[in-house]
Homo-oligomer: A and B are copies of this chain.
Amino acid sequence: MAIDINFITILDFIGTFAFAISGVRLAARKEFDLFGAFVVGFVTAVGGGTLRDLLLDVPPFWMQTKSYILITFLALLTTIVFKKWIVKFNYTFFIFDAIGLGLFTVVGLEKSFAVGNPMWVNIIMGCITGAAGGIFRDVLINEVPLIFRKDIYAVACIVGGLVYWICYLCHAPMMLTQILAAISVILVRVLAVHFNVCLPSLKPEPEVHK
């Protein structure tokens, strides 16, 4: 198995690592065992892309190379060995996570585009690739999905998809399109957290509980 290590691959692995770490850490808070933490980390990292691949009817990407399994192992190991120090790197992980989000979104956009879907489907697939893993993670640890209540997260994926679309309409070169889309996802995510921007919440209907 020859791995073609290029820039995109490295970013993809960094994103996978960051997503897996987030899963393992939340599993640890629920005192899951080693296997449970591994599964939650793996599902966080590859769940979104797997749902996308099932919807597009293409073979699940993580079954094509051992890399994703190995990176999840590495994330589990890192969480265990550096448990005491890991909290100090929260900001580093946040940046890795944002990079992962940007890259996953672009991968989803590209894969859906390649199958010949219309652009609105591509944007949804970019969004699913970036955000669904975190939803599965929260279902597995039996919590209300975080991204439904806090933070700009999936919205960053949608913005990235729109940038991708605009670039496409302007006949921008593919490389530039990908870079701009990924950077816009990362920027929206980082700026939203930095300035503490949230989407408005819906309020329950008061009469319902009477």
Contacts and interface: CB of A to CB of B under 8 A. Distances in A.
A35 interface: yes
What is the count of identical protomers in the complex?
Answer: 3
Overall SS of chain A's interface: helix
Contacts of A113: none
Interface in A173-209: 198-205, 207-208
Contacts of A27: 148, 202
Nearest to A139: B139
Most interface-central of A27, A32, A54, A202 (chain B CB within 10 A) = A202
A167 interface: no
Interface string A25-48: 101111111111101100000000
Interface string A130-157: 0000010001111111011110001100
Interface of A: 24-25, 27-37, 39-40, 50, 54-55, 57, 59-60, 63, 66, 69, 79-80, 83-84, 86-87, 117, 120-121, 124, 135, 139-145, 147-150, 154-155, 198-205, 207-208
